[in-house]
Amino acid sequence: MNASLPLLREVLDRCPPGTLLVADENCADLPFPELPGRPRVVSNRWEVAERAAQAGLAARFCDFDLSEGPPPRAVVFRIAKEKAVIHRVVNEAARVLAPGGRLWVLGGRREGIDSLAKGLAARFGAPVARLSARGWRALAFARPDSPVAPFDDRDYPRLREIARVAGKPLLSKPGLFSWDRIDPGSALLAAQLPLFLAETGPAPRLLDLGCGTGYLALAAHALAPGCRVLATDNCAAALLACRENFLHHGVSGEVVASDCAAGLAGPFDLVLCNPPFHRGFSGRVASVERFVAAAARLLAPRGQALFVANRFVPLARFAARHARAVRELGEAGGYRLVAFRR
């Protein structure tokens, strides 16, 4: 159960009708049907927005654009892990709040809530309400009557070049894992691809599972331009970046929102994946097994999957539960490559 839930309930009990709840991956397990006040929900995570909608709430999946709908009299934000995301949401809340509205921020003391509160107080004035419970804090700030200096959100909406793939730009933005560089695990997998594809043969149908910017799909497409690609992620920022990268690189395929390939149908000749093992402030190594199981389900009879993960993740053991012909292809820089068949 979400540890912040009791305090979030108390906050929502104090909020007026039409409150806007900003819910990222830290809110994935919220019991939306039970939340007081039936808030509107905005989430950058596809499965969170879907669960809120299934609970009958007005929910929107987007990259933290809060402008749709009437100006809310309250915005409630359970703070995110990445500072640029926090600053983006706070800036958006200051822009869209109705006159006299309040911004509630909620988080754990170890998550930086006190530091954020100081920055908000310098811009909005002293908190007008405070709540706390078991290491969690929630503070409300009144919307200023005049514009305030925005927080530095690293120019959050802008896609920018962070590297080059096959001589073309790789675009990324804040809100993505390792958004300003190619993470070492993905780089290791991409470096293995030429040898792997030479050994396994053509892969006309490719799935980039948990695609992020689409870097792995771009690397594979550069080696086999004729392949048709499906890329999927649950993060709105990732989908935006991946679609733009496919356009720049001339990749033929689709980019779709899904949580660990839920609802997708194969088969695919090749599945590439650098699975996430963090959700917000929590590390969840066991969640990697969901991605392994999804890949095994979607592979063609002669298809293969190539995964990379931190070496402390028991990737080969997970693969052995759901697939066959599991092979460890080496490791470097603290990451390990594992291939398997359906």
Within a domain: residue 152? no
Within a domain: residue 204? yes
Tell me, yes or no, whether 182 and 273 share the same domain.
yes
Q: Is the dihedral of CA 62, 65, 67, 71 positive or negative?
A: positive
Tell me, yes or no, whether 173 and 275 share the same domain.
yes
When divided into structural domains, the chain yields a total of: 2
Tell me, yes or no, whether 305 and 221 share the same domain.
yes
Tell me, yes or no, whether 131 and 180 share the same domain.
no
Instruction: Please name the residues in contact with 317: beta carbons below 8 A apart, sequence gap of 6 or more.
Output: none
Q: What is the CATH number of the domain that holds 192?
A: 3.40.50.150
Within a domain: residue 149? no
Per-residue pLDDT of the chain (342 residues; tens, 9 = 90+): 478 899 999 999 999 999 999 999 999 999 999 999 999 999 999 999 999 999 999 999 999 999 999 999 999 999 999 999 999 999 999 999 999 999 999 999 989 999 999 999 999 999 999 999 988 999 999 999 888 899 999 999 999 999 999 999 999 999 999 999 999 999 999 999 999 999 988 899 999 999 999 999 999 999 999 899 999 999 999 999 999 999 999 998 999 999 999 999 989 999 999 998 755 445 567 789 999 999 999 999 999 999 999 999 999 999 999 999 999 999 999 999 999 998
What domain range includes position 250?
160-341
Within a domain: residue 151? no
Tell me, yes or no, whether 204 and 275 share the same domain.
yes
Tell me, yes or no, whether 12 and 69 share the same domain.
yes
Q: Can you list the pairs that 153-159 forms with residues at least 24 positions away whose Cβ atoms lie under 8 Å?
A: 153/84, 153/87, 153/88, 153/91, 154/84, 154/87, 156/64, 156/84, 156/85, 156/87, 156/88, 157/63, 159/240, 159/241, 159/244
Q: Which of 142, 168, 199 is the last residue before a domain boundary? A: 142
The span from the CA of 78 to the CA of 107, in Å, is 6
Q: Which of 142, 169, 202 is the last residue before a domain boundary? A: 142
Within a domain: residue 147? no
